[in-house]
Structure 1
Amino acid sequence: MNIIIPMAGRGTRLRPHTLTVPKPLMPIAGKPIVQRLVEDIAKVCDTSIGKIGFIIGRDFGKDVEENLKQIASSVGGEGHIFYQDEKLGTAHAILCAQKLLAGNVIVAFADTLFRADFKMDATKDGIIWVQQVDDPSAFGVIKVDENQNITDFVEKPDTFVSDLAIIGIYYFKDGEFLKKEMQYLIDNNIKDKGEFQLTNALENMKKKGAKFSPGQVSEWLDCGNKDATVYTNKRYLEFIKDSDLEAKTVQKKNSVIIPPVFIGENVVLENSVIGPHVSIGENTIIKSSVIQNSIIQTNTEINNANFKNSILGNYVSFEGKSDDLSLGDYNSIQ
């Protein structure tokens, strides 16, 4: 099974955090979003992972590329880096990794996470994972018939046609077939809402006989903006709360931890109350503070603080009170 992960966007809605780090490398419960995604896909695959293609911007840097290759290795795959120089739509993005479009392929966009309790049926022509939403106008959606076969793909409908939103994770039994139909869109300049859309290629595949089935996840988690990312961190900590989430090098003095909380290596806690639903990156020092429902990244110092529903970046220094804080890397507020 090959996996293709388009992730070239910088994640503007998650600024200032994505000014220095691509959004898929933001931490969720101690691991980058894209690593959580790859691990969750590996769990639902009833087969071994082959090649994993990460589609990124050329400006992401060599450190990011090496990090991504290590993530692929952690699930037994072989990491490959591809570049998307122009943002021309979902079909265009996937085609940047076209040499991996062969045989069984999963495509997963790296701004969404999911929970599922099933094994994928690789005998199907294709599986499109969906979730019921209140406002489908912001998503690609599907329509199904009485046999639960997908009959229509509609990209961001202006009028209601379905509330089954495509969450951005797809399985294809025949990667070559998908590649051919996406290339057809490019060659003939067929765009929808100004871009080359994967849903148009899926519609063409369906017309030529491919049968697509909806895949239902138990929970769909978004990482599109600060509040959504904090909530996803909260839910993930709940999912893995029975795991060992506290590094053995943590130093605690007169502090209370209300689980679930993730605490990285070499963290110092003094006279503080931490949790629930807090993730703390390595080498962070927290003193005389009360923190709930937040993500704190690495090498950060917090003193005399009280906050929740917040994200603090790397190398931040903060003192104060806030119900809603978003500080990027290297900021200092006292």
Structure 2
Amino acid sequence: MKAIIPVAGAGTKLRPHTYTQPKALIPMAGKTILSIIVDQLRDAGISEFIFIVGYLGDKIRDYVKANYPDLLVHFVFQNDRQGIGHALKLTKEIVDDDEVMVVLGDTICEYDVKKVLDSPESMLGVKKVDDPRDFGVAEIDSDGFVTHLVEKPQIPKSNMALVGIYKIKETPQLFECLDKNISQGLRSHGEYSITDALDCMIQNGNQVKVFKVDSWFDCGKKETLLDSNATLLRKFGDNIENHYSFENTVIIHPVSIGKNCEIKNSIIGPNVTVGDNTTIDFSIIKHSIIGSFSNLFDIVLDYSLIGSDTSIRGETRTLNIGDNTNIDLG
């Protein structure tokens, strides 16, 4: 079993942060989006990973090699982003005929990973949503088998959305369908989708079942990213090294504070993630994510997303600031 994690997207909904940092490396509850995904799969027994990279792919590669030296990893570069289906086709030679677990690089879910891996059928993760028109949608029979898949239907016949997790046993058939769709120019909403390829497999007689995820954390835009950070902080608990002693500072749990941070004369929390090597003084910060190597002085932040290598001085604001920024609000 191999794991494929597509992380080639530009993350346009999280700009300006994704101009300088891949979305998958944004800090979340003391981890990164990518590390949460990799840890889930590694803990379930997968040791070989294929990362499909593109925009800022060198940062993904450096992060994986530094944090997961025990894993067998491959990096496939997607020069021309034409959708997840196109990205998966690039992995054909590495996958060979092995089963694969495909998890999109911005998909954090709670589910029984081992149970999914051990299933005798191919499986797709789903979650009931109020408006499925922005998702791939699965139509399911009474036994839990998929009868039809549609990408972002205008008139959905089901409210079971695909969450971006796919366990595929019949990989030769998957690649046959990908080749067919791409050769025929079969696109959905301008892209070659994995949804169309899987529907091709189903119509050709492959059996695919669904499994329902317990929770689905949306990391696609600032508002939902901050909400997901708060939920994961409550799930994982505080992440503060025991030797930390912050001068004249109140910590309101849950929070995660990275290594080598200096914090004084401040109130931090609740629901705050602070990256490594960050300095905070005379500030109040709640419901926010602060990147690494940042310097915050005399600032009140609520529901804010602050990039790495950022310096801010000033007053109360709600901010969405990318990396390498210097702002004086005084």
Range moving further from structure 2, 207-216 or 61-70:
61-70
Equivalent residue of 2:137, what SS? strand
How much has 1:251 moved relative to structure 2?
4.1
Q: Percent of counterpart pairs with the same letter?
A: 34
- 1:179 is aligned with what amino acid? F
Instruction: Give the total of aligned pairs.
Output: 326
**Which residue does 1:33 correspond to in 2?**
33
Q: Is residue 2:142 matched to residue 1:146?
A: yes
Q: 1:66 to 1:330 in 2, by over 3 A?
A: closer
Equivalent residue of 2:304, what SS? strand
The one of 106, 109, 133 equivalent to 1:114 is 109
Mapped partners of 1:160, 1:138: distance in 2: 10
**Which residue does 1:300 correspond to in 2?**
294
8 Å contact kept, 1:249–1:266: no
Mapped partners of 1:212, 1:107: distance in 2: 14
**Which residue does 2:9 correspond to in 1?**
9
How much has 1:68 moved relative to structure 2?
2.2
8 Å contact kept, 1:111–1:223: yes
Mapped partners of 1:66, 1:279: distance in 2: 22
TM-score, normalization by structure 2? 0.93
Mapped partners of 1:211, 1:204: distance in 2: 11
Mapped partners of 1:194, 1:283: distance in 2: 42
Equivalent residue of 1:259, what SS? coil
Mapped partners of 2:187, 2:323: distance in 1: 38
How much has 1:30 moved relative to structure 2?
2.3
How much has 1:195 moved relative to structure 2?
2.2
Q: Is residue 2:50 matched to residue 1:53?
A: yes
1:1-334, aligned counterparts within 5 Å?
1-43=1-43, 45=44, 48-57=45-54, 60=56, 62-73=58-69, 76-101=70-95, 102-117=97-112, 119-121=114-116, 122-241=118-237, 245-248=239-242, 250-322=244-316, 324-334=318-328
Mapped partners of 2:158, 2:92: distance in 1: 31
Equivalent residue of 1:213, what SS? strand
Mapped partners of 1:178, 1:70: distance in 2: 32
CA deviation map 1:129-153 (0-9, x unaligned): 0111111111110011111111110
CA deviation map 1:53-110 (0-9, x unaligned): 11111x525443121234444xx53111101111112210111222233322001111
- 2:253 is aligned with what amino acid? P
How much has 1:113 moved relative to structure 2?
0.8
CA deviation map 1:103-133 (0-9, x unaligned): 2200111112111246324333211001111
How much has 1:21 moved relative to structure 2?
0.7
8 Å contact kept, 2:12–2:18: yes
Equivalent residue of 1:120, what SS? helix
Unpaired stretches in structure 1, ≥5 consecutive residues: none
Mapped partners of 1:61, 1:171: distance in 2: 24
8 Å contact kept, 2:287–2:304: yes
8 Å contact kept, 2:219–2:225: yes
How much has 1:196 moved relative to structure 2?
1.6
8 Å contact kept, 1:124–1:211: no
CA deviation map 1:11-68 (0-9, x unaligned): 011011111111111111122211111112334x3xx3132111111x5254431212
Cα RMSD of the aligned pairs, angstroms, is 1.8
- 2:262 is aligned with what amino acid? V
Q: 1:55 to 1:61 in 2, by over 3 A?
A: closer
Unpaired stretches in structure 2, ≥5 consecutive residues: none
Q: 1:323 to 1:217 in 2, by over 3 A?
A: farther
Equivalent residue of 1:167, what SS? strand
Mapped partners of 1:235, 1:99: distance in 2: 39
TM-score, normalization by structure 1? 0.92
- 2:210 is aligned with what amino acid? P
CA deviation map 1:181-214 (0-9, x unaligned): 2112122322233322212211121122211111
Mapped partners of 1:215, 1:20: distance in 2: 36
